[in-house]
Structure 1
Amino acid sequence: MINKIVFALTFLGAGILTILTLGIPWLAWLNYLIWLSSAVGTVIFINFIILSFSNKREEVTLTSESTRLRVASFVTSFNEDPEIVKGTLDSVVKATKGYGDVFLLDDSTNERVSNELKKYCESVGITYIHRTDRKGFKAGAINNALRMIHGYDLVSIFDADQRPVKSYFHDILQYFQDPNVAMVQVPQNYTELGSPVALGSYYQQVPFLNVIMKGRNRRSAFSLGSGSTFRISALKDVGLMDEESITEDAATSLKLYEKGYQVVYVNVPLIWYGEPPRDAAAFVSQQSRWALGYFQLTRKILKYRLNFSVFFDFIAGFFYWLKEGPLTAAELIAPVIFLLSGLPFLVINPVLYALAYGSYIVVSMALFFYSMKGREYGVKGFLYHQFVEYLEFFGVTSSFIAWLSRRKVPFKVTPKGRSALSLRVVIPHIIVTVLLVISIIHGIYLGLTSRDVILKYSIYVNLFWASYQLFFVIGAIFFALKIGEDSTENYIKEKIIKD
Structure 2
Amino acid sequence: MDDYFRHFEHRRPPPPLPYSARREALWQILATIAALLGAWYIWWRWTQSLNRDALWFAVPLVVAESCAYLGLLLFIYNLWKDQPVAIPTPVAMLHETLTPDSNDLSAPDRPVAVDLFFATYNEDPELVRLGIIDAKAITYPHPIDMRIHVCDDGRRPEMRAVCDQEGVNYITRATNEGFKAGNLRHAMEQTSGDFIVIFDADTRPFPTLLEHTLGYFRDPKMAWVQTPQWFYDLPEGVTLTDRLSRRLGTVGRLVGQAVERVVGEIRIGKDPFVNDAEMFYQVILRRRNRANAAFCCGAGSIHRREAVMEAALRSFAASVEKRVIAAEEEITLTSRESMVDTSLLSAIRTEAVVAEVLAPYRFHVSEDIYTSILLHSDRERGWKSVLHPTYESRMLSPQDLLSWSVQRFKYAGGSLDILVNDNPLFRRGLTLPQRLMYATTFWSYLAPLWNVIFLAAPIVYLATGIAPVSAYTLPFFLHAIAFLISLELAMMAGTWGIAGYASKSSYLSFFPLGLRAIGTVLSGRKISFPVTPKDRQHGRHLRLVRPQIAVVALTLAALLWGISALLWRDTGHSVTGVVTNALWGFNNCLAMSGIIRAAMWKPEPEPTGDHDA
Q: Does TM, scored on the shorter chain, surpass 0.5?
A: yes
Alignment of 1:367 with 2:490, yes or no, is: yes
Alignment of 1:317 with 2:441, yes or no, is: yes
More helix by share: 1
Q: CA distance change for structure 1 residues 327 and 368 in 2, over 3 Å: closer, same or farther?
A: same
Which residue of 53, 65, 72 maps to 1:42?
72
Whether contact under 8 Å (1:81, 1:417) holds in the other structure is no
Q: 1:235 matched to which residue of 2?
A: 308
Q: What CA RMSD, in Å, does the superposition of the two structures yield over aligned residues?
A: 3.1
Q: Residue 463 of structure 1: SS of its match in structure 2?
A: helix
Q: CA distance change for structure 1 residues 303 and 335 in 2, over 3 Å: closer, same or farther?
A: same
Q: 2:162 matched to which residue of 1?
A: 120
The correspondence of residues 424-443 of structure 1 with structure 2, limited to 5 A, is: 424-443=543-562
Q: Residue 82 of structure 2: SS of its match in structure 1?
A: coil
How far does residue 46 in structure 1 lie from its aligned partner after superposition? 1.6
Q: 1:91 matched to which residue of 2?
A: 134
Which residue of 266, 288, 292 maps to 2:413?
292
Report the TM-score, using the length of structure 2 for normalisation: 0.69
How far does residue 300 in structure 1 lie from its aligned partner after superposition? 2.6
Q: CA distance change for structure 1 residues 180 and 477 in 2, over 3 Å: closer, same or farther?
A: same
Specify the code of the residue in structure 1 equivalent to 2:300.
G
Specify the code of the residue in structure 2 equivalent to 1:161.
D
Q: Distance in 1 between matches of 2:605 and 2:501?
A: 15
Q: Residue 199 of structure 1: SS of its match in structure 2?
A: coil
Q: 1:262 matched to which residue of 2?
A: 384
Deviations 1:99-144 (A, max 9, x none): 3211111112xx6xx2111111122222212234221111111112
Q: 1:459 matched to which residue of 2?
A: 578
Whether contact under 8 Å (1:74, 1:104) holds in the other structure is yes
Q: CA distance change for structure 1 residues 265 and 44 in 2, over 3 Å: closer, same or farther?
A: same
Q: 1:186 matched to which residue of 2?
A: 227
Q: 1:10 matched to which residue of 2?
A: none
How far does residue 275 in structure 1 lie from its aligned partner after superposition? 0.9
Q: 2:287 matched to which residue of 1?
A: 215
Report the TM-score, using the length of structure 1 for normalisation: 0.84
Whether contact under 8 Å (1:278, 1:483) holds in the other structure is no
Which residue of 186, 197, 204 maps to 1:144?
186
How far does residue 342 in structure 1 lie from its aligned partner after superposition? 2.6
Identify the range of structure 1 (254-263 vs 202-211) with the bigger mean alpha-carbon deviation.
Answer: 202-211
Whether contact under 8 Å (2:79, 2:283) holds in the other structure is no
The correspondence of residues 326-475 of structure 1 with structure 2, limited to 5 A, is: 326-347=449-470, 350-373=473-496, 377-378=498-499, 382-420=500-538, 421-450=540-569, 455-475=574-594
Q: Residue 271 of structure 2: SS of its match in structure 1?
A: helix
Q: Distance in 2 between matches of 1:319 and 1:409?
A: 19
Q: 1:31 matched to which residue of 2?
A: 61
Percent sequence identity over aligned pairs: 24
Q: CA distance change for structure 1 residues 350 and 166 in 2, over 3 Å: closer, same or farther?
A: same
Q: 1:6 matched to which residue of 2?
A: none
Q: Residue 376 of structure 2: SS of its match in structure 1?
A: helix
Deviations 1:333-355 (A, max 9, x none): 12112221233445466543332
Unaligned runs of 5+ in 1: 1-12
Q: 1:8 matched to which residue of 2?
A: none
Q: Distance in 2 between matches of 1:411 and 1:16?
A: 45
Deviations 1:328-383 (A, max 9, x none): 22211121122212334454665433322322222222222223446xx44xxx44
Specify the code of the residue in structure 2 equivalent to 1:157.
I
Which residue of 596, 599, 607 maps to 1:477?
596
Q: Distance in 2 between matches of 1:41 and 1:351?
A: 27
Q: Distance in 2 between matches of 1:94 and 1:186?
A: 18
Whether contact under 8 Å (1:102, 1:127) holds in the other structure is yes
Unaligned runs of 5+ in 2: 1-40, 97-109, 238-268, 313-358
Whether contact under 8 Å (2:91, 2:214) holds in the other structure is no
Q: Distance in 1 between matches of 2:494 and 2:186?
A: 42
Deviations 1:293-321 (A, max 9, x none): 11123243223131111111111111222
Q: Residue 170 of structure 2: SS of its match in structure 1?
A: strand
Q: Distance in 1 between matches of 2:71 and 2:233?
A: 32
Whether contact under 8 Å (1:195, 1:485) holds in the other structure is no
Q: CA distance change for structure 1 residues 484 and 386 in 2, over 3 Å: closer, same or farther?
A: farther
Q: 1:133 matched to which residue of 2?
A: 175
How far does residue 250 in structure 1 lie from its aligned partner after superposition? 0.9
Q: 1:9 matched to which residue of 2?
A: none
How far does residue 204 in structure 1 lie from its aligned partner after superposition? 4.5
Q: Distance in 2 between matches of 1:245 and 1:470?
A: 36
